[in-house]
Chains A and B, each alone.
Chain A
Amino acid sequence: DTAVSQTPKYLVTQMGNDKSIKCEQNLGHDTMYWYKQDSKKFLKIMFSYNNKELIINETVPNRFSPKSPDKAHLNLHINSLELGDSAVYFCASSQDGTRVPGELFFGEGSRLTVL
């Protein structure tokens, strides 16, 4: 069983469209994250979310919004896509860091290309 799974793996779309990337973890973790990996391979945090708190990186445009229907899912919704949004987006999860900071597990990534 895949611990952290993301769909779709590849996404090609036009500027101005709205798209979503889904993430699910079956590890029973309390905290989930979204990271963006740019063309230079640098991983930058976008959001961190557990059942208590959403932490947003202030540099993330408000066109990006995380949506969590339950503890095992954290989806990423992007409005009005721009060329600069092209990147690989990674979902990750860990045990609640407020008590027992744990090992971080990553999904395989979703490569978004905006034309």
Chain B
Amino acid sequence: KQEVTQIPAALSVPEGENLVLNCSFTDSAIYNLQWFRQDPGKGLTSLLLIQSSQREQTSGRLNASLDKSSGRSTLYIAASQPGDSATYLCAVLSGGSYIPTFGRGTSLIVHP
């Protein structure tokens, strides 16, 4: 059974810092890994999707990397802004049941 862990659970940083959020998974036989952000009281917004054959994906100030062999993905946020404050979740789609499994998220606060 796939288990997904996100570290740290919470993070508070001043504006302008570069950040790394971590996601680890126990079963390396994955199809893809997806990063989301969730604002309070809102749904999940997809940020980046990495297929199992890819090493990284980039969108603006965001860069996500994937290392299947070690069961890890990182989300790098460059030059953080207060608008980046949200909960960041990773979801792993594994073989077998094809059901995405979520981590518990990292709650990020970027203060001015």
Question: Residues of A with Cβ closer than 8 Å to B?
Answer: 31, 33, 35, 40-45, 48, 55, 90, 92, 94, 97-98, 101-109
Shortest A16–chain B CB gap in Å is 27
Q: Is the CB of B43 within 8 A of A107?
A: yes
How many A-B contacts if CB must be within 8 Å? 58
Q: Is the CB of B99 within 8 A of A45?
A: yes
Report chain B residues within 8 Å CB of A102: 32, 49
- Assembled-state Cα–Cα distance A60/B43 (Å): 22
Interchain residue pairs with CB less than 8 A apart (6): A43-B91, A45-B99, A92-B44, A104-B93, A108-B42, A109-B43
Q: Known interface pairs A41-B104, A48-B98. Does A101 touch B93 (Cβ–Cβ under 8 Å)?
A: yes
Report chain A residues within 8 Å CB of B44: 90, 92, 106
Report chain A residues within 8 Å CB of B51: 101
Shortest B104–chain A CB gap in Å is 5
Shortest A44–chain B CB gap in Å is 8
